Amino acid sequence: MNSSTISIDTASAITDLSRRTWWRRISAEKVTRVKNDDRGRTVLLWEEVAPHMPVAMTPEDKALVLLADAGDADAQNDLGQLFLVSGKPHAAFYWFALAAQQNQPDAMQWLGHCYVNGKGVAKDENMGVMWIAKAAALGHVIAQGQMQGLIGRALANPATTA
């Protein structure tokens, strides 16, 4: 695959334009559909996607996007952090979820953070704690501290039953 192409899924994640919108643009010949990549994914030219990105991308950021698109969990986590800091929580959540599914502990902790705080996803404290616990089980120091804090508070304030 050419280094100047990205999947339609990545194009959708980094531009806030839906897959359907990208397919309409392909049908109207406003963007070029490149031959599918070796994983069978529809790919587009980076240069035609880049103008639609809501976040300015440096050459290093472009390299990160290409690595993340290729499935690199560390790059996906880093890209999630880039989008979270840039005020694009939906894009951040997308990348954290992909990396977390590959057992990337930092992404799991960030995914938990997104769930607990409702960033890029509906607030769901149970899902958040689940992802933080998974990260803690994999040795993520921050997640371990968060879990110890939750357990400490639960022990200090046990629920009373009638």
- pLDDT tens-digit readout, 69-114: 999 999 999 999 999 999 999 999 999 999 999 999 999 999 999 9
Confidence of residue 3 (pLDDT cuts 50, 70, 90): low
The whole-model pTM stands at: 0.88
State phi, psi for 120 to the nearest 5 degrees.
85, 0
Compute the distance between CA of residue 18 and CA of residue 152 in angstroms, rounded to an integer: 43
- pLDDT tens-digit readout, 109-138: 999 999 999 999 999 999 999 999 999 999
pLDDT of residue 159: 67
Residues ≥6 apart with Cβ < 8 Å to 154:
none
Measured in Å, how far apart are the chain's first and last C-alpha atoms? 64
**Residue type for position 29:** E
- pLDDT tens-digit readout, 38-76: 999 999 999 999 999 988 889 999 999 999 999 999 999
Compute the distance between CA of residue 143 and CA of residue 100 in angstroms, rounded to an integer: 13
